[in-house]
Protein backbone atom coordinates (compact mmCIF):
# COMPACT_ATOMS: atom_id res chain seq x y z
CA UNK A 1 0.00 0.00 0.00
CA UNK A 2 1.47 3.38 -1.00
CA UNK A 3 2.06 5.93 1.74
CA UNK A 4 2.65 9.00 -0.44
CA UNK A 5 1.33 10.55 -3.62
CA UNK A 6 3.43 13.01 -5.61
CA UNK A 7 2.78 15.40 -8.47
CA UNK A 8 5.54 16.71 -10.71
CA UNK A 9 7.65 13.56 -10.43
CA UNK A 10 8.97 13.82 -13.98
CA UNK A 11 10.25 17.35 -13.34
CA UNK A 12 13.59 18.38 -11.90
CA UNK A 13 12.65 19.25 -8.31
CA UNK A 14 9.77 16.77 -8.20
CA UNK A 15 12.03 14.03 -9.53
CA UNK A 16 14.61 14.83 -6.85
CA UNK A 17 11.94 14.59 -4.12
CA UNK A 18 10.72 11.32 -5.62
CA UNK A 19 14.21 9.80 -5.68
CA UNK A 20 14.71 10.66 -2.00
CA UNK A 21 11.36 9.19 -0.99
CA UNK A 22 12.10 5.95 -2.83
CA UNK A 23 15.62 5.83 -1.36
CA UNK A 24 14.03 6.10 2.08
CA UNK A 25 12.00 2.99 1.35
CA UNK A 26 8.70 4.78 0.70
CA UNK A 27 6.06 3.36 -1.65
CA UNK A 28 5.11 6.31 -3.81
CA UNK A 29 2.48 6.86 -6.47
CA UNK A 30 3.27 9.68 -8.87
CA UNK A 31 0.99 11.49 -11.28
CA UNK A 32 2.10 11.17 -14.93
CA UNK A 33 0.48 13.20 -17.70
CA UNK A 34 2.13 11.36 -20.60
CA UNK A 35 3.65 8.00 -21.48
CA UNK A 36 7.08 9.58 -21.24
CA UNK A 37 6.37 10.96 -17.76
CA UNK A 38 5.08 7.54 -16.70
CA UNK A 39 8.33 5.94 -17.87
CA UNK A 40 10.36 8.54 -15.96
CA UNK A 41 8.58 8.04 -12.64
CA UNK A 42 8.57 4.27 -13.06
CA UNK A 43 12.31 4.42 -13.68
CA UNK A 44 12.71 6.39 -10.45
CA UNK A 45 10.96 3.63 -8.52
CA UNK A 46 7.43 5.00 -8.20
CA UNK A 47 4.08 3.66 -9.31
CA UNK A 48 2.81 5.94 -12.12
CA UNK A 49 -0.79 7.11 -12.13
CA UNK A 50 -1.83 8.44 -15.53
CA UNK A 51 -3.87 11.62 -15.63
CA UNK A 52 -3.97 15.37 -16.09
CA UNK A 53 -3.68 17.63 -13.07
CA UNK A 54 -6.67 19.66 -14.25
CA UNK A 55 -8.86 16.57 -14.63
CA UNK A 56 -8.83 14.98 -11.17
CA UNK A 57 -11.43 12.33 -11.97
CA UNK A 58 -8.78 10.48 -13.96
CA UNK A 59 -6.27 10.09 -11.15
CA UNK A 60 -8.03 10.52 -7.80
CA UNK A 61 -7.93 6.77 -7.16
CA UNK A 62 -4.16 7.13 -6.86
CA UNK A 63 -4.59 8.91 -3.52
CA UNK A 64 -6.37 5.97 -1.88
CA UNK A 65 -4.43 4.87 1.19
CA UNK A 66 -1.87 7.69 0.96
CA UNK A 67 -1.19 9.61 4.17
CA UNK A 68 0.76 12.42 2.49
CA UNK A 69 0.54 14.29 -0.79
CA UNK A 70 3.61 16.11 -2.10
CA UNK A 71 2.26 18.64 -4.59
CA UNK A 72 5.39 19.70 -6.46
CA UNK A 73 3.99 20.17 -9.98
CA UNK A 74 3.73 23.69 -11.33
CA UNK A 75 4.65 25.97 -14.19
CA UNK A 76 7.66 28.24 -13.89
CA UNK A 77 7.31 29.88 -17.31
CA UNK A 78 8.14 33.51 -16.61
CA UNK A 79 7.20 34.74 -20.08
CA UNK A 80 4.46 32.31 -21.14
CA UNK A 81 1.36 33.73 -19.49
CA UNK A 82 -1.01 31.08 -20.88
CA UNK A 83 0.55 28.19 -18.96
CA UNK A 84 0.24 29.65 -15.48
CA UNK A 85 -3.38 28.59 -14.90
CA UNK A 86 -2.19 25.20 -13.70
CA UNK A 87 -0.52 26.78 -10.67
CA UNK A 88 -3.89 27.83 -9.26
CA UNK A 89 -6.40 25.41 -10.77
CA UNK A 90 -4.10 22.42 -10.48
CA UNK A 91 -3.36 23.16 -6.84
CA UNK A 92 -7.04 23.47 -5.98
CA UNK A 93 -7.75 20.17 -7.75
CA UNK A 94 -5.06 18.37 -5.77
CA UNK A 95 -6.28 19.70 -2.43
CA UNK A 96 -9.91 18.85 -3.20
CA UNK A 97 -8.93 15.32 -4.22
CA UNK A 98 -6.79 14.93 -1.10
CA UNK A 99 -9.71 16.00 1.07
CA UNK A 100 -12.02 13.46 -0.53
CA UNK A 101 -9.41 10.71 -0.14
CA UNK A 102 -8.84 11.39 3.55
CA UNK A 103 -5.20 12.44 3.14
CA UNK A 104 -3.77 13.71 6.44
CA UNK A 105 -1.07 16.10 5.20
CA UNK A 106 -0.17 18.02 2.06
CA UNK A 107 3.34 19.37 1.49
CA UNK A 108 2.87 22.10 -1.08
CA UNK A 109 5.78 23.36 -3.17
CA UNK A 110 5.17 27.08 -3.39
CA UNK A 111 7.84 29.69 -4.19
CA UNK A 112 9.85 32.40 -2.49
CA UNK A 113 8.35 34.69 -5.14
CA UNK A 114 5.08 34.72 -3.17
CA UNK A 115 6.64 36.91 -0.46
CA UNK A 116 6.50 39.97 -2.69
CA UNK A 117 8.76 42.12 -0.53
CA UNK A 118 9.75 45.66 -1.40
CA UNK A 119 13.12 46.18 -3.00
CA UNK A 120 16.04 46.14 -0.58
CA UNK A 121 14.20 44.27 2.18
CA UNK A 122 15.64 41.09 3.70
CA UNK A 123 12.43 39.10 3.54
CA UNK A 124 11.03 36.47 5.89
CA UNK A 125 7.81 34.47 5.78
CA UNK A 126 5.92 37.32 7.49
CA UNK A 127 7.26 40.24 5.47
CA UNK A 128 4.31 42.32 4.18
CA UNK A 129 3.59 41.97 0.49
CA UNK A 130 4.26 45.14 -1.48
CA UNK A 131 0.87 44.89 -3.18
CA UNK A 132 2.47 44.49 -6.60
CA UNK A 133 3.46 41.19 -8.21
CA UNK A 134 6.60 41.46 -10.31
CA UNK A 135 5.48 38.78 -12.77
CA UNK A 136 2.56 36.61 -13.78
CA UNK A 137 4.43 33.67 -12.31
CA UNK A 138 4.71 35.36 -8.90
CA UNK A 139 1.03 36.26 -9.00
CA UNK A 140 -0.04 32.73 -9.92
CA UNK A 141 2.03 31.17 -7.13
CA UNK A 142 0.81 33.75 -4.58
CA UNK A 143 -2.84 33.08 -5.43
CA UNK A 144 -2.20 29.33 -5.48
CA UNK A 145 -0.67 29.49 -2.01
CA UNK A 146 -3.45 31.63 -0.57
CA UNK A 147 -6.18 29.38 -1.96
CA UNK A 148 -4.28 26.26 -0.93
CA UNK A 149 -4.25 27.30 2.72
CA UNK A 150 -7.91 28.33 2.58
CA UNK A 151 -9.10 25.16 0.84
CA UNK A 152 -7.07 22.85 3.09
CA UNK A 153 -8.39 24.54 6.23
CA UNK A 154 -11.97 24.20 5.01
CA UNK A 155 -11.44 20.49 4.29
CA UNK A 156 -9.60 19.83 7.55
CA UNK A 157 -6.37 18.77 5.85
CA UNK A 158 -2.99 19.80 7.30
CA UNK A 159 -1.05 21.80 4.71
CA UNK A 160 2.54 22.99 4.98
CA UNK A 161 4.05 25.27 2.34
CA UNK A 162 7.67 24.94 1.23
CA UNK A 163 8.88 28.13 -0.48
CA UNK A 164 12.23 27.56 -2.18
CA UNK A 165 14.21 30.30 -3.89
CA UNK A 166 16.10 29.46 -7.10
CA UNK A 167 16.95 25.75 -6.83
CA UNK A 168 20.39 24.88 -8.19
CA UNK A 169 22.67 21.88 -8.46
CA UNK A 170 23.69 18.99 -10.71
CA UNK A 171 21.07 18.40 -13.37
CA UNK A 172 19.88 21.96 -13.81
CA UNK A 173 20.82 23.77 -17.01
CA UNK A 174 17.92 26.20 -17.43
CA UNK A 175 16.82 29.44 -15.80
CA UNK A 176 19.38 31.16 -13.60
CA UNK A 177 21.73 28.17 -13.98
CA UNK A 178 22.57 29.65 -17.37
CA UNK A 179 24.47 32.40 -15.55
CA UNK A 180 26.81 29.82 -14.04
CA UNK A 181 27.16 27.89 -17.29
CA UNK A 182 27.73 31.06 -19.31
CA UNK A 183 30.40 32.22 -16.91
CA UNK A 184 32.26 28.90 -17.02
CA UNK A 185 32.25 28.56 -20.80
CA UNK A 186 33.12 32.21 -21.40
CA UNK A 187 29.84 33.33 -22.97
CA UNK A 188 28.75 35.50 -20.05
CA UNK A 189 30.27 38.91 -20.76
CA UNK A 190 27.53 41.16 -19.36
CA UNK A 191 25.30 40.91 -16.31
CA UNK A 192 23.03 43.04 -14.12
CA UNK A 193 24.03 44.10 -10.62
CA UNK A 194 21.43 42.36 -8.50
CA UNK A 195 20.98 39.62 -5.92
CA UNK A 196 20.13 36.03 -6.82
CA UNK A 197 18.81 33.94 -3.89
CA UNK A 198 19.85 30.30 -4.24
CA UNK A 199 19.29 26.96 -2.58
CA UNK A 200 20.97 23.62 -3.26
CA UNK A 201 18.59 21.00 -4.66
CA UNK A 202 19.46 18.47 -1.94
CA UNK A 203 18.55 21.04 0.72
CA UNK A 204 15.24 21.80 -1.02
CA UNK A 205 14.43 18.08 -1.09
CA UNK A 206 15.33 17.65 2.58
CA UNK A 207 13.08 20.59 3.42
CA UNK A 208 10.12 18.81 1.81
CA UNK A 209 10.64 15.68 3.87
CA UNK A 210 11.14 17.65 7.07
CA UNK A 211 8.00 19.64 6.34
CA UNK A 212 6.07 16.37 6.22
CA UNK A 213 7.09 15.35 9.73
CA UNK A 214 7.98 18.61 11.50
CA UNK A 215 6.22 21.42 9.66
CA UNK A 216 3.44 23.25 11.46
CA UNK A 217 0.09 23.13 9.63
CA UNK A 218 -0.79 26.46 8.07
CA UNK A 219 2.83 27.66 8.02
CA UNK A 220 5.15 28.41 5.13
CA UNK A 221 8.90 27.96 5.17
CA UNK A 222 11.31 29.96 3.03
CA UNK A 223 14.06 27.65 1.79
CA UNK A 224 17.06 29.77 0.88
CA UNK A 225 20.67 29.05 1.75
CA UNK A 226 22.46 31.94 0.05
CA UNK A 227 21.54 35.39 -1.30
CA UNK A 228 24.71 36.63 -3.04
CA UNK A 229 25.03 39.44 -5.51
CA UNK A 230 25.76 38.24 -9.02
CA UNK A 231 29.34 39.43 -8.57
CA UNK A 232 29.70 37.43 -5.35
CA UNK A 233 28.15 34.34 -6.94
CA UNK A 234 30.42 34.28 -9.99
CA UNK A 235 33.48 35.09 -7.86
CA UNK A 236 32.78 32.08 -5.64
CA UNK A 237 32.06 29.96 -8.71
CA UNK A 238 35.34 31.08 -10.28
CA UNK A 239 37.31 30.15 -7.17
CA UNK A 240 35.70 26.72 -7.00
CA UNK A 241 36.14 26.02 -10.72
CA UNK A 242 39.57 27.61 -11.13
CA UNK A 243 38.22 30.09 -13.69
CA UNK A 244 39.00 33.81 -13.81
CA UNK A 245 36.87 35.88 -16.18
CA UNK A 246 35.92 39.53 -16.33
CA UNK A 247 32.26 40.54 -16.45
CA UNK A 248 30.88 43.98 -17.17
CA UNK A 249 27.69 45.10 -15.47
CA UNK A 250 24.77 46.81 -17.19
CA UNK A 251 22.46 49.30 -15.51
CA UNK A 252 19.07 47.74 -14.86
CA UNK A 253 17.24 50.19 -17.13
CA UNK A 254 19.26 48.96 -20.10
CA UNK A 255 18.39 45.34 -19.34
CA UNK A 256 14.71 46.23 -18.94
CA UNK A 257 14.70 48.09 -22.26
CA UNK A 258 16.33 45.17 -24.06
CA UNK A 259 13.79 42.77 -22.53
CA UNK A 260 10.90 44.93 -23.76
CA UNK A 261 12.32 44.98 -27.30
CA UNK A 262 12.83 41.21 -27.36
CA UNK A 263 9.35 40.55 -25.96
CA UNK A 264 7.67 42.84 -28.48
CA UNK A 265 9.55 41.32 -31.42
CA UNK A 266 8.79 37.71 -30.47
CA UNK A 267 5.13 38.32 -29.66
CA UNK A 268 4.74 40.15 -32.99
CA UNK A 269 5.51 36.88 -34.78
CA UNK A 270 3.31 34.84 -32.46
CA UNK A 271 6.02 33.20 -30.36
CA UNK A 272 6.77 33.16 -26.66
CA UNK A 273 9.90 35.28 -26.00
CA UNK A 274 13.03 33.94 -24.30
CA UNK A 275 13.29 37.28 -22.45
CA UNK A 276 10.45 39.51 -21.33
CA UNK A 277 9.66 42.49 -19.12
CA UNK A 278 8.43 40.29 -16.27
CA UNK A 279 11.74 38.46 -16.19
CA UNK A 280 13.61 41.76 -16.27
CA UNK A 281 11.55 43.09 -13.34
CA UNK A 282 12.33 40.00 -11.26
CA UNK A 283 16.04 40.16 -12.07
CA UNK A 284 16.38 43.91 -11.55
CA UNK A 285 14.41 43.81 -8.29
CA UNK A 286 16.75 41.27 -6.72
CA UNK A 287 15.74 39.29 -3.65
CA UNK A 288 17.36 38.68 -0.29
CA UNK A 289 15.57 35.94 1.64
CA UNK A 290 16.07 34.79 5.21
CA UNK A 291 15.70 31.00 5.30
CA UNK A 292 16.43 30.59 9.00
CA UNK A 293 12.89 29.64 10.05
CA UNK A 294 13.36 26.29 8.31
CA UNK A 295 16.55 25.80 10.32
CA UNK A 296 14.86 26.61 13.63
CA UNK A 297 11.59 24.76 13.16
CA UNK A 298 12.36 21.98 10.69
CA UNK A 299 15.97 21.31 11.62
CA UNK A 300 17.20 21.98 8.09
CA UNK A 301 20.95 22.47 7.63
CA UNK A 302 22.03 24.30 4.50
CA UNK A 303 24.95 22.98 2.47
CA UNK A 304 27.77 25.56 2.17
CA UNK A 305 27.68 27.17 -1.31
CA UNK A 306 31.31 26.27 -2.03
CA UNK A 307 30.44 22.61 -1.52
CA UNK A 308 27.38 22.42 -3.75
CA UNK A 309 28.95 24.66 -6.38
CA UNK A 310 31.91 22.26 -6.58
CA UNK A 311 29.54 19.33 -7.06
CA UNK A 312 27.61 21.25 -9.69
CA UNK A 313 30.73 22.24 -11.63
CA UNK A 314 31.91 18.64 -11.56
CA UNK A 315 28.57 17.54 -13.03
CA UNK A 316 28.73 20.25 -15.72
CA UNK A 317 32.13 18.99 -16.80
CA UNK A 318 31.43 15.28 -16.57
CA UNK A 319 28.29 15.62 -18.69
CA UNK A 320 29.81 18.01 -21.22
CA UNK A 321 27.57 20.95 -20.33
CA UNK A 322 30.80 22.97 -20.16
CA UNK A 323 34.22 21.95 -21.37
For the chain, count helices (H), then strands (E). 12, 13
Looking at residue 83, its pLDDT comes to: 64
Whole-number pLDDT of residue 241: 95
Select 4-169+199-226's CATH number: 3.10.580.10, 3.40.50.720, 3.30.70.2860, 3.40.605.10: 3.40.50.720
State the pLDDT at residue 310: 97
Question: Can you give the pLDDT at residue 181?
Answer: 94
Are 194 and 230 in contact, with CB atoms under 8 Å apart? yes
184, 313 Cβ separation under 8 angstroms: yes
38 and 48 Cβ atoms separated by less than 8 Å: yes
Q: Domain map of the chain by residue range? A: 4-169+199-226
What local confidence, expressed as pLDDT, does residue 81 receive?
64
Q: How many C-beta atoms lie closer than 10 Å to residue 307's C-beta?
A: 12
pLDDT tens track for 32-54: 999 999 999 999 999 999 999 98
Of 148, 303, 133, residue with least CA distance to 220: 148
Cβ pair 275, 258 in contact under 8 A: yes
The answer to whether 297 and 221 have CB atoms below 8 angstroms apart is yes
Contact present, 70 and 44 (Cβ < 8 Å): no
Pairing of strands 220-223, 248-250: unpaired
Segments of the chain with pLDDT less than 50: none
Contacts 24+ apart (CB under 8 A), 313-319: 313/184, 313/237, 313/240, 313/241, 314/170, 315/169, 315/170, 315/171, 316/180, 316/181, 316/184
Spatial separation of the C-alpha atoms in residues 259 and 261, rounded to whole Å: 5
Closest CA to 140 of 70, 211, 77, 51: 77
The pLDDT assigned to 82 comes to 60
Amino acid sequence: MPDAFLTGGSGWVGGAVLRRLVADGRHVRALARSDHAAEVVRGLGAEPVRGDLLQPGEWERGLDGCATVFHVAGEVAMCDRRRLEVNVSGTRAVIAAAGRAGVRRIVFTSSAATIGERRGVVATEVTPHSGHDLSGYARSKRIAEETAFADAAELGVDLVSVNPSSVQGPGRTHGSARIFIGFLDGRLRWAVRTRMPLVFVDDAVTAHLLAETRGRPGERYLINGWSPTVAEAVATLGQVAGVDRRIRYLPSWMFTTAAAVVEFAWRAIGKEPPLCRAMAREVSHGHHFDGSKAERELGLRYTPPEEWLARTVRWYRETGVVS
